[in-house]
Amino acid sequence: MTGETLELIKAINEILKSIKEVVILLSSTKGATVRAVEIAQRWDAAPRWRRAFLWLGLKVVSLRIDRRKLRDCYHALKERLSGQHGIDDLCRVVLVKLMDAVARVHGGLLLEEHRAKLSELLGLGVRVSLECKKETCYNPRTCLLAYLMCRKWWMVEKLRKIAIRAGPPYAETAKALLGEKTVLEFCEPLPAVCAEIFV
C-alpha cells in the first residue's frame, strides 16, 4: 500500500468520524446543551475541515439548547474568577476555557463580550509575553497560559505533547484545553449551576 493510499484512507476515516460526531450530537440522550458544549470544548483542537462538520451540527442543534442555563453557568464561572484573587493561573485558564465553550454555544452578545474581555479574564497582564511565537512554548506553563489568546495551530501540537509527556499539573491542564477533561483535581469544583452542562 502506497503512502498516498494510506493518507486517503486516513482522510476518509477522519471524515466518517466527524460525520459520526454530528449524528451523535443530533441524537444524544444527554441533551442538546450538554452535547453542544462537549463539541465546543474540542473545537480548537479540531482541524479546520473537521470544524465544518462540527459547525453544521451545532447550527442544527442550536434551536434546542437552553441559552438561559448557558448564561447562568457563564456568569457563575465569571464570578468564580473575580471572587478569587489568589486563584491559581492554571485553574484560571481552565475556567476561561470552559467559559469559552459555553459562550461559543450560546453565541450572540455573550460570545462577543467574552472575546472582548478574554485578556482581562485570563488575568495575564505583563506576566506572559503574547507574541505567539514558538519560544512561548519552550516552557509548559507559559504555553498553557498563552494558548487561549494565541490559538495557533502549532500550539495544539505542543499541548498534545504536554498532555502526554509533562507531569501534573501541566498534563491535566493541557488535556482540559484540548477538551479531553473538564474538572481538575487541584482546582475547586465547578459551580453547581454548571454541573448539568459539564457532565
Helical H segments across the chain, by residue range: 3-27, 32-41, 48-61, 67-83, 89-106, 108-116, 118-122, 140-150, 153-165, 170-177
What is the residue extent of each domain of the chain?
A: 3-64, 67-194
Q: Is 128 left (phi over 0), alpha (psi -120 to 50) or beta?
A: beta
Locate 114 and state its grid cell.
Answer: 467574552
CA angle 38, 55, 162 (to 5 degrees): 50
The alpha carbon dihedral of 102, 107, 112, 113 has a sign of negative
> How far is it, in rounded angstroms, from Cα 57 to Cα 51?
10
Q: Is 123 left (phi over 0), alpha (psi -120 to 50) or beta?
A: left
Each residue's pLDDT, cut to its tens digit, for the chain (199 residues) gives 677 777 777 767 777 776 776 666 666 656 778 888 887 887 777 777 777 777 777 776 677 788 999 999 999 999 988 876 567 889 999 999 999 999 999 989 999 999 999 888 887 654 544 678 888 889 999 899 889 988 888 999 999 999 999 988 899 999 999 988 877 777 888 899 998 888 7
Locate 193 and state its grid cell.
Answer: 449551576
